[in-house]
Amino acid sequence: MTLFIFIIKGKPNQSGTLETNIEYQINLDYSSKANSIIIKFYLYSQNVVCLVSQTNLDQVLFTDLTDSKSESFSYDYQSYLANSAYQLVEIEFQTIIYIRCLESHQNSEKSSYELYISETPFIDTCNNDCNGYNYPEIQNSVCLSMYCNCLDLNFGLYCQFQSSKIYSNIYYKLTIESYKWIYLKYELSTTNIEFQCINEVQDVFYSFVFQKTPQKIIPTIENSQKLKSITNIQEQLINNQTNNNADVIYIGLYNNQSKTIDLQFKIVTYNDDNNESMFERNKIIIIITACVIATLLLFAIGISALRTRKQKQIRKQVQEDIRRNLNNDQQQTNRVFNPAIYKGFQIRFIKDHFKAHYYDKFILVYPGLSQFQECAVCLEQMNKANNKLQRICSVTPCFHIFHYICLQEWLLRQKNCPFCRTEYTRKKIIQDFPWLDIGNLQIKNTDSNYLSRMKNQIESVNESRIELNNHQQIQQTHQLEEIKD
């Protein structure tokens, strides 16, 4: 029955073929459930961009198109710059709309389109509810504060582009189709970086942008440079990093040839400091650190009693704030930073190590954890959530499940588990991450007996809870031993 409904919903309400530079008028029947129109264009030429408007488009020229969005018509200019085979436009529902595809070179190429009438409320800056080119499929991206927050490896204004994560000093075999881009996601650890290629490359260009929300800038041929067998990008990174605080970049590689190429590509990082300068620097750091520690110890003795009482008050305030903020997403995204409350981890560290997963997909992999059906922070359901945002969950190293946003808010304020109060440290989280084998991530810890039982769905939930409590006791014992050491 579910498959039948999906097929009906996935079928376009209207489709057809378009010739370039010709305006088409489309008449639609009004429905009380029709809130927006989503049009997906299939392009057979990289020089075509398609416009959608509620008024006549005869006077619009190709030179009128820029990165800035027009008030009189809508178009997917970012996908055009990326030479994508698709373009996607969403507008508010109207009974009469106009479509016209413009071409920079007069080759008279034809295009085709699929038109869908959607019941989802129209948000001008969140095309297709941030699901990329797919309709009506659901991806791990959400619309927050009127902008698309792309999760996993998606990026772009409405998360329409896919990237592959790469690491330093590893050769990757890449296949790039003719006149197409591929995108790579890389986390910066230093600015002294080189691109290296084993095989000789011709007419291959590279470009990179820093990760942002919203991602208004993408790698394009206008801001690209030719890729050499050895290319150092340190100067470019330093110049661009002054205006960007992000530590993640998206690298685009473009094949400007009429044939597909295979490329062996690697990112190499270097350390500029020599041993002597590092020794001198470390000696100064040790002296300064010793002075600071001595001062902090004297100060900590005087305030230890006050700190315990404040922590109890802060914990009560955190729980009240989270429950209140979950009832209003806008208040949650525009929270006021208070140094007396936010004493947990940094937001970038939380996003990197506490990944977001759909609750239903996660339970399919670990059915033994289905006992956690509601979030212990906000006390709202995860398995039968009313909206898309509350179906996204995250898991702690002690294997407790919470809403993704609830756990983020909690860990910004304090460094422990909202359920069992297990204390976390950055070192402990980095050593244990990842603690689940969701997707392509492989777990590092050796506690596979418990995870195996959760994955193979034990006969009784009571046995799962006993195993879970034993696992928590073992973790707490390890933490006490580390504190004693």
What are the boundaries of each domain within the chain?
2-161, 163-269, 344-484
Q: What is the mean pLDDT of residues 429-443?
A: 70
For residue 27, is pLDDT > 60?
A: yes
Length of the chain: 485
Q: What is the mean pLDDT of residues 7-11?
A: 61
The pLDDT, as a whole number, for residue 155 is 92
The pLDDT, as a whole number, for residue 248 is 92
Give the angle subtended at the CA of 460 by the CAs of 456 and 461, to the nearest 5°.
90
pLDDT digits (tens, 9 = 90+) for 153-183: 899 999 999 999 999 999 999 999 999 999 9
**pLDDT tier at 7, thresholds 50, 70, 90:** very low
* Greatest distance between any 2 Cα atoms in the chain: 80
pLDDT digits (tens, 9 = 90+) for 84-102: 999 999 999 989 999 999 8
Q: Where would I find the H helices in 377-485?
A: 404-413, 426-432, 448-455, 461-484
CB 229 within 8 A of CB 200: yes
CA–CA dist 200, 264 (Å, integer): 10
pLDDT digits (tens, 9 = 90+) for 366-411: 887 888 888 988 888 888 777 877 888 999 988 899 999 899 999 9
Which one is predicted more confidently, 468 or 34? 34
CA–CA dist 206, 29 (Å, integer): 47
Tokens 């041993």 found at: 275
Q: What is the mean pLDDT of residues 287-293?
A: 90
CATH number given to 163-269 = 2.60.120
One of 2.30.60.10, 3.90.79.10, 3.30.40.10, 3.40.47.10 is the CATH number of 344-484, namely 3.30.40.10
Helical (H) or strand (E) element with 103? strand 96-103
Q: What is the mean pLDDT of residues 294-315?
A: 76
Q: What is the mean pLDDT of residues 240-259?
A: 86
For residue 466, is pLDDT > 70?
A: no
Encoded tokens for 251: 């690298």
Sequence-ordered list of residues with C-beta below 8 angstroms from that of 130, at least 6 positions apart, any chain: 139, 141, 142, 143, 148, 149, 150, 158, 159
Which one is predicted more confidently, 109 or 93? 93
For residue 431, is pLDDT > 80?
A: yes
CA–CA dist 391, 327 (Å, integer): 15
The topology (CATH level 3) of 2-161 is Jelly Rolls (2.60.120)
CA–CA dist 479, 463 (Å, integer): 25
CA–CA dist 262, 164 (Å, integer): 16
Which of 227, 247, 230, 95 shows the shortest CA–CA distance to 186? 247
CA–CA dist 408, 350 (Å, integer): 7
Which one is predicted more confidently, 453 or 267? 267
Domains 2-161 and 344-484 share a fold: no
Tokens 């050491």 found at: 485
Which one is predicted more confidently, 314 or 306? 306
Mean pLDDT over the full length of the chain: 80
Which of 318, 484, 476 shows the shortest CA–CA distance to 408? 318
The pLDDT, as a whole number, for residue 450 is 62
> CA gyration radius for the chain?
26
The pLDDT, as a whole number, for residue 457 is 54
**pLDDT tier at 356, thresholds 50, 70, 90:** confident
